[in-house]
């Protein structure tokens, strides 16, 4: 017993010395329960600590800190996962005793134009329709089996991919439509548990702006030298700005204003010229989608036409009140379309379509010098200065003179008028009140039918055939018929109460 006791004490002392000797090298290491089988070792349980990093093992998934040298490296395999600062080894043969709950939230979602493309900023208008969405996986720990994603809808809890990216171009979607879209994705672990949804909102605009409601209208003929171009420029996506629109007049840029809210465009200048002017509106939106330029033309005419007038080819004398006017006019831009004619420039003009010969223009039926005035109007509405010509009128038509008939008041309901003309061979036509003119007759008198009480009006005109044409022609008639007015009735005393029709007063005996 004594020997055995001393033997045990000796072994205890040797072990104590060995531990003290090795303590400088092992003060940061502790090892627990390792099993070795031949040359291949299977780690069943152990706890290791290096430099303060801690990993636990004993039927748990083991992780060991390996320092900063691998802080930016990540490798994964079915059995190993090396994460910045961590080494993870899965002992698949060991039964799982418990599950460590870890955060499944993604580190973030971004978008690019392709695997080697440029980044796409969220909630910013751009033109890429088939972006690549990339997301950062959850922090190390959970056994992520895949990711569920959706566009413009919430993702379900069914894994769609094990990748950490989604390429629209290589998917069945192929391309996103214009507008605002939301890409949503979340991680799912082996138990079906899902993390929070991470999202990326992408704005796409590939449609150029539209230009409408523009004026002046194509082909317009205008007589204004200072004009404005109006248009409406609209874009449903990124919108238009003053820097994305250009307006050119005759190939020169002009200044303009654009209302961003309504798209109303108004020019404030322009190198307009006489004749044909070209107008161009170039519109692009904020991301560079450009519309085919809108091009049209208008004609500006600010110069009035010029012209002349000639009466009866320049004759000095006429015996007819009807003459022929010869007219010439020209306009370099829009042409002459109308003319204004008058026998008295102060009393107004008659507007007619422009012709080079105006036949049967009636002069004033007064013997002596006659003047005809003319103005010309071009297609843009510019009016020329007044031009004129003169001719002396020596009438063929005889004068008409009433030689007898009632005047003032008369009690007779039937009256007789006599009339004559200084020339032999005259014929006469007359009219009572509003009756039409009678047929021509050589008789120099007429008797009225029984007339009503009140005012009456008699007219008579003489004519003479001098040109050999059958029937009396207008220029053979007296242009100023003789006239007489009278009242059928008795003129009442000054103080008498008026009786009879309201127009005049008379008294019957």
Decide which of 34, 54, 89 is a domain's last residue. Answer: 89
Q: Please, which pLDDT band fits residue 235 given cuts at 50, 70 and 90?
A: very high
Q: How far apart are CA 337 and CA 329, in angstroms?
A: 10
Which whole number is the average pLDDT over 83-104? 41
Evaluate if pTM is beyond 0.75.
Answer: no
- Domain annotation covers residue 167: yes
Burial classification of residue 493, based on how many CB atoms lie within 10 Å of its CB (0-12 exposed, 13-18 middle, 19 or more buried): exposed
Contacting residues for 21 by C-beta, under 8 A, at least 6 apart: none
pLDDT of residue 422: 85
User: 273-318, pLDDT tens digit by residue?
Assistant: 999 999 999 999 999 999 999 999 999 999 999 999 999 999 999 9
- Domain annotation covers residue 494: no
Q: Please, which pLDDT band fits residue 483 given cuts at 50, 70 and 90?
A: very high
Task: Evaluate if residue 157 carries a pLDDT over 50.
Answer: yes
Which whole number is the average pLDDT over 410-415? 95
Q: Which among 341, 330, 327, 332 is positioned nearest to 302, based on CA atoms?
A: 332
- C-alpha angle 46-102-193 in degrees, rounded to nearest 5: 125
Element (H, E) at 24: helix 2-26
Give 410 or 72, the one with higher predicted confidence.
410
Task: Evaluate if residue 94 carries a pLDDT over 70.
Answer: no
- Domain annotation covers residue 503: no
Decide which of 375, 393, 411 is a domain's last residue. Answer: 393
378 CB-side CA count, 13 A: 24
Task: Evaluate if residue 4 carries a pLDDT over 70.
Answer: no
pLDDT of residue 14: 55
Distances (CA, A) of 433 to 171, 427, 480, 485: 99, 21, 17, 9
Decide which of 151, 174, 204 is a domain's last residue. Answer: 204
Which whole number is the average pLDDT over 423-430? 92
Burial classification of residue 334, based on how many CB atoms lie within 10 Å of its CB (0-12 exposed, 13-18 middle, 19 or more buried): buried
8 A C-beta contact, residue 342 and residue 264: no
Q: What is the largest CA-CA distance in the chain?
A: 194
- Domain annotation covers residue 99: no
Give 249 or 41, the one with higher predicted confidence.
249
pLDDT of residue 498: 52
Q: How many residues are listed for the chain in this entry?
A: 509
pLDDT of residue 141: 74
CATH of the domain at 170: 2.60.40.10
Distances (CA, A) of 287 to 238, 240, 292: 7, 9, 16
Task: Evaluate if residue 70 carries a pLDDT over 60.
Answer: no
- Domain annotation covers residue 96: no
Is the same domain home to 46 and 79? yes
Which whole number is the average pLDDT over 260-279? 90
Q: Please, which pLDDT band fits residue 142 given cuts at 50, 70 and 90?
A: confident
Mode of pairing for the β-strands spanning 482-488 and 408-410 = parallel
Task: Evaluate if residue 357 carries a pLDDT over 90.
Answer: yes
Is the same domain home to 424 and 371? no
Is the same domain home to 114 and 199? yes
- Domain annotation covers residue 496: no
pLDDT of residue 143: 87
Please give the order of strands across the beta sheet that includes 125-126. Answer: 125-126, 198-204, 179-189, 144-151
Q: Give how many domains the chain has, as a whole number.
A: 5
Q: What share of the chain has pLDDT > 70, as a percent?
A: 76
CATH of the domain at 258: 2.60.40.1220
Which whole number is the average pLDDT over 63-83? 35
- Domain annotation covers residue 442: yes
Tokens standing for residue 434: 């509003």
Q: Which among 505, 509, 493 is positioned nearest to 409, based on CA atoms?
A: 505
Domain range for 333 is 306-393
Is the same domain home to 122 and 172? yes
8 A C-beta contact, residue 483 and residue 458: yes
Which whole number is the average pLDDT over 56-70? 34
Is the same domain home to 10 and 81? yes
pLDDT of residue 472: 86
Which whole number is the average pLDDT over 477-497? 81
- Domain annotation covers residue 98: no
Is the same domain home to 409 and 385? no
């Amino acid at each position: 017993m004594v020997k055995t006791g001393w033997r045990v004490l000796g072994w205890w002392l040797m072990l104590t010395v060995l531990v003290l000797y090795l303590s400088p090298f092992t003060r940061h290491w502790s090892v627990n329960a390792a099993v070795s089988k031949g040359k291949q070792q299977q780690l069943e349980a152990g706890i290791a600590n290096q430099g303060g990093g801690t990993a636990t093992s004993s039927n748990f998934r083991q992780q060991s800190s390996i320092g900063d040298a691998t802080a930016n490296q990540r490798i994964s395999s079915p059995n190993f996962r090396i994460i910045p600062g961590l080494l993870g080894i899965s002992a698949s043969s060991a039964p799982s005793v418990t599950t460590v709950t870890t955060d499944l939230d993604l580190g973030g979602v971004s978008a690019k134009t392709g695997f080697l493309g440029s980044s796409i900023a969220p909630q910013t208008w751009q033109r890429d329709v088939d972006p690549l969405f990339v997301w950062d996986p959850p922090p190390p720990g959970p056994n992520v089996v895949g990711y569920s994603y959706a566009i413009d809808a919430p993702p379900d809890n069914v894994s769609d991919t094990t990748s950490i990216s989604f390429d629209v171009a290589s998917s069945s979607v192929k391309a996103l439509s214009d507008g605002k879209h939301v890409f949503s994705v979340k991680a799912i672990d082996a138990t079906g548990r899902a993390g929070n949804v991470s999202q990326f909102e992408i704005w796409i605009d590939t449609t150029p702006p539209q230009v409408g409601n523009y004026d002046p209208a194509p082909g317009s003929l205008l007589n204004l030298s200072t004009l404005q171009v109006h248009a409406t420029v609209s874009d449903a996506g990124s919108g238009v700005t003053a820097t994305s629109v250009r307006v050119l007049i005759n190939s020169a840029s002009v200044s303009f204003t654009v209302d961003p809210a309504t798209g109303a465009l108004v020019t404030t200048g322009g190198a307009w010229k006489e004749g044909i002017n070209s107008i161009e509106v170039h519109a692009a939106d904020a991301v560079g989608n450009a519309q085919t330029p809108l091009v049209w033309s208008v004609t500006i005419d600010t110069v009035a036409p010029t012209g002349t007038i000639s009466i009866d080819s320049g004759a000095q004398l006429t015996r007819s009140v009807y003459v022929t006017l010869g007219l010439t006019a020209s306009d370099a831009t829009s042409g002459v379309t109308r003319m204004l004619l008058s026998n008295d420039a102060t009393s107004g003009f008659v507007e007619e379509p422009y012709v080079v010969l105006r036949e049967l223009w009636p002069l004033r039926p007064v013997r002596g010098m006659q003047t005809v005035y003319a103005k010309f109007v071009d297609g843009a509405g510019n009016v020329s200065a007044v031009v004129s010509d003169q001719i002396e009128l020596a009438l063929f038509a005889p004068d008409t003179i009433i030689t007898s008939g009632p005047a003032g008041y008369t009690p007779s309901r039937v009256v007789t008028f006599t009339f004559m003309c200084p020339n032999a061979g005259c014929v006469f036509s007359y009219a009572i009140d509003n009756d039409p003119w009678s047929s021509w007759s050589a008789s120099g008198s007429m008797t009225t039918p029984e007339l009503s009480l009140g005012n009456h009006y008699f007219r008579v005109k003489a004519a003479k055939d001098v040109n050999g044409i059958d029937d009396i022609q207008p220029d053979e008639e007296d242009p100023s018929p003789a006239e007489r007015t009278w009242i059928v009735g008795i003129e009442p005393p000054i103080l008498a109460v008026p009786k009879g029709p309201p127009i005049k007063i008379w008294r019957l005996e």
